[in-house]
Amino acid sequence: MERGTVLMRRYELGRLLGQGTFAKVYKARNILTGETVAIKIIDKEKVLRTGMIDQIKREIAIMRLVRHPNVVQLYEVMATKSKIFFAMELVRGGELFAKVAKGRLSEDMARKYFQQLVGAVDFCHSRGVYHRDLKPENLLLDDSGNLKVSDFGLSALRGSRRQDGLLHTTCGTPAYVAPEVINRKGYDGAKADIWSCGVILFVLMAGYLPFNDPNLITMYGKISRGEFRCPTWFPSDIRKLLSRLLDPNPNTRITMSKLMENSWFRKGFKPVPPTLQYRGSPCPRSDGDVHGCMHGATFPSEDEEKDEAEEEIKKKLAMSPIRPCCLNAFDIISRSQVFDLSGLFEKEKGVKAEARFTSKKPAAAIVSKLEEIAQMERFKMIKEKDGVVKLEGSKKGRKGQLEIEAEIFEVSPALFLVEMKKLSGDTLEYQKFYHQELRPSLKDIVWTWQVGDQSPPPQTLALSPLRPPLPVPASHPACIF
């Protein structure tokens, strides 16, 4: 959009501040109040096409819940048939990352930012929100030098927890992620955020990361063991606090309440009462319902007819009956035999009842092959959510019917990962069926099996850093925990 364009008769666009895959951010002025804001413009067609609409809705709901002086504020949300507009607080001071990249901060400055970060995160947790991607790049500074937590795109609500009371989505930024997050066994969102806060405190004080290595296996090994070195200039009380924050065992890691009672943390700490009032033009409803915030158009919901734009996209793309989920970097790492870290946390038990393979065939061809196998072996095939199919045996075995789930993931447009696992039935019967019938029948579509000592080719596991990492000194005096 051009500079000077007026959106929804209330915001005049200024210069472009930045852009990403799905959105552009502009400086803008509220015509009614004269207030300067940031307008995030999201391409609705792109988010619909990539299945990101639920994430956008969740981000809106979360930002409406966390009204706090140290959290970037969302003023209102508007939409047309093709665009979604976020009117947000404009934070002019840039990222905290840029400040730290110039060198370590003084103890008092580091404490100030850490106090503001913990205060904001504690408030988020009180509202049932877990950020899950805390890092200096997502911490902004305003004109007064106060910290503002931003980017809730990977956040989760308390209601996202499974029946075990834990979150299971592996996400975040490698150097800041807690060890239990990549364990694929479930994690407490609050404790994972506390770990990230600990990494950030170390970065503020040292000017570099506590866990960093060009080899991901080595780096995750250090994270899983909580193995880091503190420079000798760290005061003893900070070293003790970091040992509690970066405890690899989430059950013994310091809690938020205990952290806020810590003597080093409390020095000069001034709790700021949350400011929950809207600034600018408020959304008409404040219960977290996204639809109440829309002007001109709404998101599709289960109780409404499908959005016309979504229907047009489906026609354009001639979508296949099944749409595989896309893997992020953490998903690829955690599912790879080479990068599997579960052995760091628990020993392998019994016969492994899962297998993975990569294929260069499209998702439709993979599903077609599974249907063919199901018919040959008298299995019933059920298509569930996008990317998931189930094979149910017609005969009862020693432990009931054999049931197998196959989940298809898109690594890239030309490469798919298929994860197969036994859901029910006897494991030995599954192994016999897998080795004698299933695996031989899949040879036409399999590129590489990830079983035993085999794994997907290295290029499928490569990670590209979004920006240069913080520097790590070649050598420095240190004490090790």
How far is it, in rounded angstroms, from Cα 456 to Cα 20? 29
Q: Answer for the pair 382, 440: CB distance below 8 angstroms, yes or no.
A: no
How far is it, in rounded angstroms, from Cα 462 to Cα 44? 29
Report strand pairing: 400-412 vs 325-326.
parallel
Q: Answer for the pair 64, 129: CB distance below 8 angstroms, yes or no.
A: no
Tokens found for residue 186: 């479930």
229: Cβ contacts below 8 Å, ≥ 6 apart: 210, 478, 479, 480, 481
The alpha carbon torsion through 16, 20, 24, 27 (nearest 10 deg) reads -40
Q: Is 133 noted as a catalytic residue in this protein?
A: yes
Q: Which amino acid would we find at residue 13?
A: L
Greatest Cα-to-Cα distance within the chain, rounded to the nearest angstrom: 73
99 marked as part of a ligand binding site? no
Among candidate residues 43, 54, 133, 331, the one labeled active-site is 133
How far is it, in rounded angstroms, from Cα 190 to Cα 177? 12
Q: Which amino acid would we find at residue 298?
A: T
What is the chain's length? 481
DSSP letters, 19-30, are E-SSEEEEEEEE
Place of tokens 């996202």: 160
List the Cα angle 348/354/355 in 5-degree steps: 115
Quickly count: other Cβ atoms within 10 Å of residue 163's Cβ: 5
Buried b (16+ CB within 10 A) or exposed e, 233-262: ebeeebeebbebbbbbebeebbebeebbeb
In whole angstroms, how far apart are CA 326 and each of 1, 235, 337, 373? 29, 45, 19, 25
Q: In what order do the strands lie in the sheet with 23-30?
A: 6-7, 11-19, 23-30, 36-43, 83-89, 74-79
Q: How far from the centroid of its chain's Cα atoms is residue 395's Cα?
A: 41
Q: Which amino acid would we find at residue 120?
A: A
How far is it, in rounded angstroms, from Cα 116 to Cα 131? 15
Running DSSP on this structure, what letter comes out for residue 136? G
Place of tokens 């001109």: 296
Please, how many CA atoms are within 13 Å of residue 418, restricted to the half-sphere of its CB?
A: 27
Tokens found for residue 87: 């009117």
Q: Which residues are annotated as a binding site for ATP?
A: 40
Supply the residues annotated as catalytic: 133
Q: Which residues are annotated as a binding site?
A: 40
